[in-house]
Amino acid sequence: MLAQTGVPKLEDLAGVMPSEERLAQGPVAMAECFQNIPCDPCYHSCRRQAIQPFADINDRPQINHDNCNGCGICLSRCPGMAIFIIDQTYSENESLVKMPYEYLPLPLEKDSVVAVNRAGEAVGEAKVVKVQSNEKLEGTSIVWLAVPNELTMEVRHFKLKEVR
Ligand code: SF4
Ligand code: SF4
C-alpha cells in the first residue's frame, strides 16, 4: 500500500498519467504526488495554467495535460521531487524521461547508467542525454534520460555505473 511503502501502484498512477493520445503528442508533465501536504509551488510556477488552482493548499496537483507543453518549470520548483517530464516522441525506440536528481557526482552526458524503478530496483539501462544544473535550480539538477520505450512508465531514477 502506498502509505506504507511509498511506492505507487498501477491504480495510483492511473489517476495521474497523461492519456496515450497526449503522450503521443510530445513532452508532458506527470505529477507523482500522492500525499495531501501543504505544498503548492508547482501550481504557482506553471505559466500555462495547466495545473488546476488548489482549493486548499493540502490538495494534490491536478494537471490538465492538454494545456501542458512539458516545459519542466514545475519539475524544477517541486521540493518533493515528484514531477517528471515524459516525452514518448523522442525516438523510435526510446522515450525521454526528465527527472530531478540531488546526488553528487552528477552524471555526464552520454553516460550509460542503471535505470531504476520507483521501488529502487534496477530495471535496465538508460542513457544520459542532458544534465541541467545551475544556481537557479538550487542544488536540484535535472537529468534527461533516454530509456527504452517499454520502460517509460517504470524508470524514475538511476544509478551511476562508476564514480569517477
Ligand atoms: S511542464 Fe510546464 S506547462 Fe506543464 S504543468 Fe509543468 S510548468 Fe505547466
Ligand atoms: S510542488 Fe511537488 S510536492 Fe508540492 S504539491 Fe506540487 S507536485 Fe506535490
Segments of the chain assigned E as strands: 28-31, 83-87, 94-101, 112-116, 122-132, 141-148, 157-159
**Quick check: 53 pLDDT over 80?**
yes
Mean pLDDT (whole number) for 61-66: 98
**Quick check: 129 pLDDT over 80?**
yes
Q: How confident is the model at residue 5 (pLDDT cuts 50, 70, 90)?
A: confident
* Nearest residue (CA) to ligand 2, atom 2: 78
Q: How confident is the model at residue 1 (pLDDT cuts 50, 70, 90)?
A: confident
Q: Quick one: what percent of the chain has pLDDT higher than 90?
A: 86
Q: What pLDDT does residue 134 have?
A: 82
Ramachandran sector of residue 138 (left: φ over 0; alpha: ψ -120 to 50; beta: rest): left
Counting atoms of ligand 2 from 1, which one is nearest the CA of 77? 1
Nearest ligand by distance to the CA of 26: 1
Nearest ligand by distance to the CA of 52: 1
Q: What pLDDT does residue 10 have?
A: 87
Q: What pLDDT does residue 4 have?
A: 84
Cross-strand partners of 95: 147
Cβ(18) – ligand 2 distance below 6 Å: no
Q: What is the pTM of this model?
A: 0.95
Q: What pLDDT does residue 75 have?
A: 96
pLDDT tens for each residue of 32-49: 999 999 999 999 999 999
What end-to-end distance do the CA atoms of the chain give, in Å? Answer: 38
Q: How confident is the model at residue 136 (pLDDT cuts 50, 70, 90)?
A: confident
Pocket test for ligand 2, best of 32, 33, 81 (most atoms within 8 A of CB): 33
* Nearest residue (CA) to ligand 1, atom 8: 46
Q: How confident is the model at residue 139 (pLDDT cuts 50, 70, 90)?
A: confident
Rg (CA), the chain: 15
pLDDT tens for each residue of 81-97: 999 999 999 999 999 99
